[in-house]
Amino acid sequence: MQFINLMRPHEVVAELGKRLQKQRLQQNLTQAALAKKLGVSVPTISNLENGKNTTLETFMSVVFALGLQTELQDLFNQPSLTIAELDKAAQPKRQRARSKTKPTAYKPASTTKSSSNVAHAPNNSRAGLWDRNLFSTLPTPTAKSEPEKGEG
Domains of the chain (ranges; CATH) run 4-73 (1.10.260.40), 108-140 (no CATH)
First to last CA, the chain: 87
pTM exceeds 0.75, yes or no: no
pLDDT at 128: 47
Q: Calculate mean pLDDT across residues 69-83.
A: 82
Question: Can you give the three-state secondary structure of 95-125, one letter per residue?
Answer: CCCCCCCCCCCCCCCCCCCCCCCCCCCCCCC
User: Is 136's pLDDT higher than 50?
Assistant: yes
Helix 31-38 to helix 42-49 angle, to the nearest 10 degrees?
Answer: 110
61 or 91, which is more confident? 61
pLDDT category at 115 given cuts 50, 70, 90 is: very low
pLDDT at 137: 53
Q: Calculate mean pLDDT across residues 90-94.
A: 76
